[in-house]
Structure 1
Amino acid sequence: MTRVARGATVRKDAGLYGYERALRRAGFGAVAGVDEAGRGACAGPLVAAAVILPDGRRGEVPGLADSKLLTPLRREACYAEVVRRAVAWSVVVMSPAECDALGMHHVNITALRRALARLSAKPDYVLSDGFGVDGLGVPALAVWKGDRVSASIAAASVVAKVTRDRMMCDLDTEYPEYAFAIHKGYVTALHEERLAEFGPSPVHRLRYQNVRAAAARRGSFASAAPTEGVR
């Protein structure tokens, strides 16, 4: 990982596009943001996205913000604008089975790397949200709460979140008893209630303690995977 590139100064009041503007001033033309959705869920896939926004006004997405701060309708509108305006964008989906096999931190980093590798244009610099991603062959920086201070990370967060939410709504039609369309696989009172009543589905992650406890009560879905806490 690197610090912000020499010559790139980001003021605290620079706004959502401050990192990208500073890096372009320092000579990095293509700045990619990368983020994931679903790391804290106990059911469903983990989805990572990478986005390179263009310079200038075309790269300023109306209403863009951290996906968690947007309403579902606003996220969908931002998603449409991001994929229309982006120089390049990509999505990677890691299945619940891969989450169990690799562990959440490893699967998260793997997904971020794959999303960046699938971009049709190679970035000159990479910004990631919170987690550092090494071995990319280009300078990179992990930004604390990056989806709130970097436009490219925010764009990636929107693409990842919308993609995953759509997938969870599809899973809701396959497993309607779990109400995936409502809680999207995250740990809520409703999800815990359905998990206790019906036990784990094939798309639950068995590394999570609450899922394992529900499985143990029903004597099903035995797994040797290490346990991870409810997030």
Structure 2
Amino acid sequence: MPDYSLELANGAPEQRIVGLDEVGRGPLAGPVIAASLVFLTPPEPPLAAMIDDSKRLSAKRRDAAFAALMAHPAVRIGLGAASVPEIERINIGKACHLAMQRALAHLGFMPDMALVDGNRLPALGCPALAVVGGDRKSLSIAGASIIAKVIRDRLMTRLSERHTTYGWEKNAGYGTALHMAGLKQTGVTPHHRREFAPIRALLACAAQPVGAI
């Protein structure tokens, strides 16, 4: 379970320590969403107990943690995104960093330090520490992971109402069997990442002349 020790070791709560995480690196469709999160005061045990790596929480527990974080008076949150055209233009790694930069910019103030999930750091304008598996170590990163995942999942559910054959309300754009079946049935939408190998292969196959080997 994540805790608040990394934040305390870096001067929290006197220093404003932000956690940064992104969601949506691997899907075949949809944007990357990132969140930044700061606890202005150490999180109380009931709130801390709700927070974990978003991937380890059930949807019900994740939604409850999301609501608690969004409503908490001592929590500050910023959101950022990188669109499908941006992912295709600059690549997924740079798009994840761009989304994180935007999430930090939307926080409303520059923190004293950033704890960033992963092993690479975006240019943030403040001291930063890359934390591998950070969403299982830091409450600030884990909280950010919950915010980003819930926002992205809800976005993909809304998109699924207009694009009904891909199952995005269930798979959030990942390449599940249902999603791949929808691609074969309906084809590629503007929300698909055309530079990702499965989509690129599908488009190449569709462009192949009839009778070509």
Q: Same fold (TM over 0.5)?
A: yes
Paired with 2:170 and 2:43, the residues of 1 have a C-alpha distance of 36
Question: What amino acid is aligned across from residue 44 of structure 1 in structure 2?
Answer: G
Match for residue 58 of structure 2 among 71, 74, 89: 71
Q: Find runs of 4+ consecutive structure 1 residues off by over 3 angstroms.
A: 57-62
Aligned residue in 2 for 1:140: 128
- Report the CA distance between 1:41 and its aligned residue: 0.6
Unaligned runs of 5+ in 2: 209-213
Q: 2:105 aligns with which of 97, 117, 129?
A: 117
Following TM superposition, by how much is the alpha carbon of 1:199 offset from its aligned partner in structure 2, in angstroms? 1.6
> Are 2:162 and 1:174 equivalent residues in the alignment?
yes
User: What is the aligned-residue identity percentage?
Assistant: 37
Q: Confirm or deny: 8 A CA contact 1:62 1:78 kept in the other structure.
A: no
Q: Secondary structure at the match of 1:177?
A: coil
Label 1:52 to 1:198 Cα distance change in 2 as closer, same or farther (>3 A).
Answer: same
Deviation at 1:30, TM superposition (A): 0.7
Question: Any gaps of 5 or more consecutive residues in structure 1?
Answer: 1-13, 221-231
Q: How many residues align?
A: 206
Matching of residues 28-43 of structure 1 within 5 Å: 29-43=15-29
Deviation at 1:217, TM superposition (A): 2.6
Which deviations, in whole Å up to 9, do the C-alpha atoms of 1:52-90 show, x marking residues without a partner?
Answer: 012234484341000000011111111111122243211
Deviating more after overlay: 145-154 vs 130-139: 130-139
Displacement of 1:132 after TM fit?
Answer: 3.0
Whole-angstrom CA distance in 2 between matches of 1:187 and 1:28: 44
Q: 2:70 aligns with which of 83, 92, 105?
A: 83
- Quote how far apart the aligned CAs of 1:131 are: 3.8
Distance verdict in 2 for CA 1:91–1:57, change over 3 Å: closer
Of 195, 204, 207 in structure 1, the residue corresponding to residue 192 of structure 2 is 204
When normalised by structure 1's length, the TM-score is: 0.83
Rounded to whole Å, the distance in 2 between the matches of 1:55 and 1:39 is: 31
